[in-house]
Amino acid sequence: MTNWLIASNNKYKTQDLIKCLAFYGVQAVPYTDQLAKLTFPAEQTVSYAGNALRKAQFLAGKTNQGVIADDSGIEIAALGNHLGVTTKRELHRDTVHSDNQTILNDLKGQTDRRATMISTLAAVTPGQAPLTVTGRIDGTIATRTRGNYSTGFDKLFILPNQQRTLAELPDEMRIPLTHRGRAAKQLAAELRGV
């Protein structure tokens, strides 16, 4: 198959997903390499898989190529039912601070900093049943952003037995440890029929 198209308007997520997929031998490009920017259907609050599949199917309906979409989020024990599937929408309500700063503000004074990052990928190919896979990692939230190898929550997220955030790890170390990297590995295996 030629390059997969990534169904996202988030350039940072798109680039990270392209890197994660390439790490496992799957070539992908931003959909905007071939189409004008689209407005994707509104995300729901029910499931990562449903959101990813909706985006992939929407873009697949506009092209005759394979499409991969991601829906991801962070779940933080001290924040209860907040975030998760609605992570971006909840964090974007704070129009003053970055997403990471909002999380740090919300966790001020908290000793329980346990967190889980989740990524569900959906792949839609013309004439074939859709595939969905999920990668997840557990860790803790740092007390400040650290690292420049990657962006987003990677700057806050520390895995067990690590002293560094994911963003302090170069891609060859980071990708296999991330939620999106784990999902990409599973998807690559499914696409190869392994």
Per-residue pLDDT of 47-98, as tens digits, reads: 999 999 999 999 999 998 999 999 999 999 999 888 888 888 888 877 888 9
What is the predicted pLDDT for the residue at 149? 95
What is the predicted pLDDT for the residue at 133? 98
What is the predicted pLDDT for the residue at 1? 54
State the catalytic residue, choosing from 16, 33, 70, 71: 71
Domains along the chain with CATH numbers: 4-192 (3.90.950.10)
Per the structure block, which two tokens stand in for 183?
A: 């999902």
pTM of the entire predicted model: 0.93
Active site residue 71: yes
Say which residues have a Cβ less than 8 Å from residue 31's Cβ, sequence separation at least 6: 5, 6, 7, 8, 38, 59, 63, 67
Say how far apart CA 122 and CA 67 lie, in whole Å.
8
Say how far apart CA 105 and CA 45 lie, in whole Å.
24
Please, what is the average pLDDT of the chain? Answer: 93
Q: How buried is residue 70: exposed, middle or buried, by Cβ count under 10 Å (0-12/13-18/19+)?
A: buried
pLDDT tens column, 157-184: 999 988 999 999 999 999 999 999 999 9
Average pLDDT for 115-125 = 97
